[in-house]
Structure 1
Amino acid sequence: MSEPDTPEQTQTEPRRNFYGRSKGKTLRASQKDYLANDLDALRPRGVTRDENPGRARIDLAQFGSRPLWLEVGFGGGEHLVHMAVRNPQIHLIGCEPFVNGVAMLLGKIRAAGVKNLSIHPGDVRDLFDVLPDGVITKTFLNYPDPWPKARHHRRRFVTQGYLTELHRVMAPGTEFRIATDIPDYVRQAHEEVPVAGFRLEREAGEGGAWEDWISTRYEQKAFREGRFPHYLTFRRD
């Protein structure tokens, strides 16, 4: 396990840029209710600087003794809830800075009654900062923001700034899944993900999704607009 950061180190940490939307359309009354009454109980403790000013590693006991999975950018939350219902023996953490997506997920959690989920409504790098080495046993990256302009490709998740930390927090031999409808995102994943210490295990196009896959709203939008999915499975060395 890595040593926790000291307060002196924390004070000199550079500020991170965050790109992308954090808010969208006006929330419905029910969604405001979910955020006000459900979110706090589902946040992992020890991620924010207010809770953890010294940036020590978080206490994993809050997740129980179950294997820990991670979804980066869960969108409307349908895949996250589907996986939680299908796998009650594990605990999932979903990271999503877009408040409308968080509100949609909270409604789905209420409806499904799942108990094995935590939500970090912010940048996944905040979670990476406080997770011990080798604790994540599966990671999902489904239809991430494509950042289509070439000058913005460095903002994509499949860059070393994200991937090296993902590699650190994942256990050896565990699975990292990517679903995207953007061919250039596939290109960059092929180039960058192996550099960070993952090997490509499987690649498939339309009709080749994983056995436990659920099609999301973003995938359905891609189909309507004539784009087709790519499903990549990497294995952490």
Structure 2
Amino acid sequence: MTHDNYDGSFFGRRKGKPLSPKRLGLMSTHLPRLRLCLETPAPADLSALFDADVGEVWLEVGFGGGEHLLHRARENPHVGIIGVEPFVDSMGKAVAAIVENAIPNIRLFDDDAIRVLDWLPPASIDLAYQLYPDPWPKKRHWKRRFINTENLDRYARALKPGAEFRFASDIDTYVDWTLQHCRDHPGFAWSAETSTDWLTPWANWPGTRYEAKALREGRAPRYLTFRRV
């Protein structure tokens, strides 16, 4: 995702190429139904958000092209997944796929993920993903990275005890940054026991377009898993 403007706590470009008339129509018709309404309090039981009968609720912050979000939703029909993505093109693709494939266990939010994390009830999320976020590689921009003490506090509040927070990146400085911040945070413990643990994707990993680009350009992805303690 390309980010170049600051908007509250989110740095980012929200629009790219214009949506096709078909996707624009799907967005207009279906995003209001799929979008979380943060103007009302979150239900105590988040399963009430979904049309499907779900037993767990997962969160993916910044789902990009939606490959992982859609794959996990199809693979786990009894899990409700909240996907957050402010980039309009990506949201348009996700809405189209959800509608065309009649996927009942996804809810969406097209704005700042901090708003969702603050809206969620405490200890309500069973698993959270943040995959290939903008790394802000220049040191003077590191303060813009989403992984920081304040946002880890938000994740820790929303995750159930024992739940996992999964993070992937191909940028070494952001991997190191995330390791340091999560290991320093009292709410998280890094679960890796050997070096292969963070070189190996999670089970049934579908890959993402960002990962494919990294591999083409010779960068090695890292997969970090932290447990909410």
Note whether the superposition's TM-score is higher than 0.5.
yes
Which residue matches 2:15? 23
Q: Which sections of structure 1, spanning at least 5 residues, go unmatched?
A: 1-14
1:229 is the counterpart of 2:213: no
CA-CA distance at 1:104 after TM superposition: 1.0
Separation in structure 1 between the aligned mates of residue 33 and residue 181 of structure 2, nearest angstrom: 36
CA–CA separation in structure 1 for the residues paired with 2:14 and 2:73: 25
Provide the residue aligned with 1:10 in structure 2: none
Match of 1:200 in 2: 190
Structure 1 residues 203-218: aligned runs within 5 Å = 203-205=197-199, 208-218=200-210
**Which of 162, 165, 172 does residue 173 from structure 1 map onto?**
162
Q: CA RMSD in A?
A: 1.5
1:58 aligns with 2:49: no
Q: Given residue 159 of structure 1, which amino acid in structure 2 is its aligned partner?
A: N
State the TM-score, normalized to the length of structure 1.
Answer: 0.85
> Identity over aligned residues, as a percent?
41
Cα pair 1:78 1:108 within 8 Å, conserved: no
Give the distance between the partners of 1:195 and 1:111, measured in 2 at CA: 43
- Equivalent in the alignment of 2:149: 160
Instruction: Please state whether the residue corresponding to 2:130 is helix, strand or coil.
Output: strand
Between the aligned partners of 1:213 and 1:131, the Cα distance in structure 2 is 26
Residue segments in structure 2 that go unaligned for 5+ positions in a row: 1-6
**Which whole-Å CA distance do the structure 2 matches of 1:158 and 1:129 have between them?**
15
Q: Distance in 1 between matches of 2:60 and 2:144?
A: 18
- In structure 2, distance between residues paired with 1:25 and 1:187: 33
| Cα distance between partner residues in 1 of 2:103 and 2:150 | 32
Deviant stretches of 4+, over 4 Å? none
Equivalences for 1:143-158 in 2 at 5 Å?
143-158=132-147
The answer to whether the 8 A contact 1:74-1:94 is kept is yes
Deviation for aligned residue 1:172: 0.4
Alignment partner of 1:188 is 2:193: no
